[in-house]
Amino acid sequence: MAVTAPNAPPSALPEGLRDAILAWYDARGRSLPFRGTTDPYAVLVSEVMAQQTQISRVAQAWNAFMATFPTIRDLAAASPADVLRAWRGLGYNRRALNLWRAARVVVDKQGGQVPSDVAALERLPGIGPYTARAVAAIAFGAPVGAVDTNVRRVLGRTIGGAIDAFQASELQWVADAAVPADRPADWTHALMDVGATFCRTARPLCAECPARTRCRFAAAAAVDARTRQEGRTSPFRSTSRWLRGRIMDRLREVEGAGWVVIDAPIGDHDQTSIARTLELLAAEGLVELDPASRLSARLPVG
């Protein structure tokens, strides 16, 4: 099947690529709790959790979150504070509020039914092109390609011979064209697994990859000099991200709607730094500030 897009160089899907990747996935794909469901709400929760978070952490958190909010109506009816408490350990807390807001939109305006259309999914708070397509493919069987960094590497290398073989608009066309019509959900999971397990940014494990005999990158024995292993950032006690996490943790520990005094110091942060961070968290809707104290706050109650 030809894979071409407007303004893109012609490129053909290597013969047998889909079969090789899917056969490996059937035998060796990662077993994750949320892969056993096609319920649109459950899939939406897992995909929002997976944004910028290691899949192992998502696997641990998803079951607990679904037990707390088993339906989208349960989530929509919850308070922001309850949702943020249930989100503990996942980080990037704005995702939790966006998921809650999306649930309210679905319940209030769409009868509690998660939309199947990509464009409609993208209109939900916090839902971008990748998440919308992943939900459409996994929950509704839509033949659309969900493109994140893992998928970009796999398709860029196997089809184009390099990670940067396609521009963003071209890559989306290539991803959509590569989806097998009968297995869009499995294909979405399989590409993620191949990207995470073998097709790494630097030093890809080509010799072990199930796509190696059908991959243009591996066949050419190419080394993309532009790919560099991105070092993982650690939560240092002096960083604002570390402080934000500690403040949110303290607020989550308190039941009810009472104000919590955030005493200084926290790590390397003094009262001024804590007050500034509380203001930023309040501006994002993650906390409410006590009018009587610049160092007192609580999780939002409504």
Q: Which of 108, 140, 172 is the last residue of a domain?
A: 140
For residue 2, the model assigns a pLDDT of 41
The boundaries of the domain holding residue 97 are 39-140
Are residues 59 and 7 both part of a single domain? no
Query: 3-class secondary structure for 161-196?
Result: CCCCCCCHHHHHHHHHHHCCCCCHHHHHHHHHHHHH
For residue 232, the model assigns a pLDDT of 43
Enumerate residues 6+ apart whose C-beta is below 8 A from 228: 201, 202
Does residue 14 have a cis bond before it (omega within 30 degrees)? no
Number of domains in the chain: 3
Report the Cα 131 to chain-centroid distance in Å. Answer: 7
Q: Which of 81, 115, 140 is the last residue of a domain?
A: 140
Q: Is residue 244 part of a domain?
A: yes
Distance from the first to the final alpha carbon of the chain: 52
Judged by DSSP in three states, 278 sits in: helix
Eight-state DSSP code of residue 231: P
Best CA proximity match to 3, nearest among 131, 193, 146, 156: 156
For residue 223, the model assigns a pLDDT of 37
Are residues 215 and 153 both part of a single domain? yes
Domain with residue 18: its CATH number is: 1.10.1670.10
Torsion 54-60-61-63 (CA) sign: positive
Are residues 172 and 86 both part of a single domain? no
For residue 61, the model assigns a pLDDT of 92
Q: What are phi and psi of 267, to 5 degrees?
A: 60, -125
What count of residues does the chain have?
Answer: 302
For residue 11, the model assigns a pLDDT of 54
Q: Splitting the chain (302 residues) into consecutive groups of 10 residues, what average pLDDT does each group show?
A: 41 84 94 92 95 83 94 96 91 92 96 95 95 97 94 93 84 93 96 93 90 88 37 56 86 82 84 87 90 89 78
Return the H-helix or E-strand segment holding 11: strand 11-12
For residue 78, the model assigns a pLDDT of 95
pTM recorded for the entire structure: 0.73
Determine the Cα–Cα distance for residues 38 and 56; give it in Å rounded to an integer: 20
Q: Which of 97, 124, 140 is the last residue of a domain?
A: 140
For residue 10, the model assigns a pLDDT of 40
Active site residues: 47
Domain with residue 75: its CATH number is: 1.10.340.30
For residue 5, the model assigns a pLDDT of 42
